[in-house]
Amino acid sequence: MRRGQSSVNARPFGGGVRRRHWTTAALVLLGLAATSGRAFAQATNTGSITGRVTDAGAGVPLVGAAVRVSGTQIGAATAEDGRYTIRGVRPGRRRSS
């Protein structure tokens, strides 16, 4: 060995870091592809519920009222005119609350 040279590899991680980055990137892309495929499948098999919430006595729109599909976690809040749209509702009979 020459003077000033070291027997230690010049790449401290032996190229493994680069491989880990590619593996991580590949796993992230695979996860995104799986999620977007599921979202696309759900979007093609769903519908939406649209309506308007008003005060029963005065008939004025209720702003910011929470409307939810019973038995699910999906819902929406009413706009300034009392209207709402809930997207991503699976087919069938549904109740809102």
> 51 and 17, same structural domain?
no
Q: Which of 26, 46, 59, 31 is nearest to 87 (CA)?
A: 46
Domain of residue 88, residue span: 46-97
Do 34 and 63 fall within a single domain?
no
Q: Locate tokens 């976690």: which residue?
A: 73
Q: For residues 32 and 45, what is the distance between their CA atoms, to the nearest angstrom? A: 20
CA distance 69 to 47: 12
* Model confidence pLDDT, tens digit, residues 42-94: 556 888 899 999 999 998 999 999 999 988 889 999 999 999 999 988 888 87
Query: Which of the 8 DSSP states describes residue 90?
Result: P
Report the number of distinct structural domains present in the chain: 2
Query: Does residue 7 sit within a domain?
Result: no
Q: What is the pLDDT of residue 68?
A: 92
Query: Are residue 52 and residue 93 in the same domain, yes or no?
Result: yes
Residues 20 and 51 in one domain: no
As to burial, measured by CB atoms within 10 angstroms (0-12 exposed, 13-18 middle, 19+ buried), residue 88 is middle
